[in-house]
């Protein structure tokens, strides 16, 4: 499956996040702003990618979340992504979420997500 899973690379804008998903290396990154008009439509193929990735993950999966700001509808999509990774982690895979924050509010959001799923989170400061 891993040979068939295409990497996703989306360049960010002032309202759309940068997304980089590399199935071979297991290094995944989401960054910038996510304040989209149709959030569910944007994240649908990304969540589908994670569902497919679960079938044949890399030896180590590391999701770097470097959002500066995201809206409520994005937070629901993020939870869906974290739940996919949690499924992978509970299956015995090596999974880490690295949550970057530039302020206290974003750090608290990361802690909230950490409390909702059972997998390791690492917290770092986002250098702007």
**pLDDT category of residue 119 using cuts at 50, 70 and 90:** very high
Sheet order of strands, 8-10 included: 8-10, 18-21, 27-34, 60-70, 94-101, 121-125
- The model's pLDDT over 54-63, given as tens digits with 9 standing for 90+, comes to 998 999 999 9
**pLDDT category of residue 127 using cuts at 50, 70 and 90:** confident
- The model's pLDDT over 42-96, given as tens digits with 9 standing for 90+, comes to 999 999 999 999 998 999 999 999 999 999 999 999 999 999 999 999 999 999 9
Q: Taking 70 as the threshold, does the pLDDT of residue 114 lie above it?
A: yes
Round to the nearest angstrom and report the end-to-end CA distance of the chain. Answer: 37
E strand or H helix that includes residue 34 = strand 27-34
**pLDDT category of residue 128 using cuts at 50, 70 and 90:** low
**pLDDT category of residue 126 using cuts at 50, 70 and 90:** confident
**Contact predicate 81/47, CB 8 Å:** yes
**Contact predicate 68/101, CB 8 Å:** no
What residues contact 116, with CB distance under 8 A and at least 6 apart? 79, 82
Q: What percent of the chain has pLDDT over 90?
A: 91
């Amino acid at each position: 499956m891993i040979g068939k899973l295409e990497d996703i690379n989306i360049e960010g804008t002032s309202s759309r996040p940068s997304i980089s998903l590399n199935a071979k290396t297991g290094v995944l990154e989401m960054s910038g702003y996510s304040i989209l008009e149709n959030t569910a439509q944007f994240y649908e193929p990304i969540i589908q990618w994670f569902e497919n990735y679960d079938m044949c993950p890399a030896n180590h999966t590391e999701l770097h979340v470097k959002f500066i700001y995201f809206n409520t509808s994005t937070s629901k999509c993020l939870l869906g992504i974290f739940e996919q990774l949690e499924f992978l982690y509970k299956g015995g895979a090596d999974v880490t979420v690295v949550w970057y924050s530039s302020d206290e509010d974003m750090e608290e959001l990361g802690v909230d997500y950490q409390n909702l799923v059972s997998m390791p989170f690492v917290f770092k400061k986002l250098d702007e």
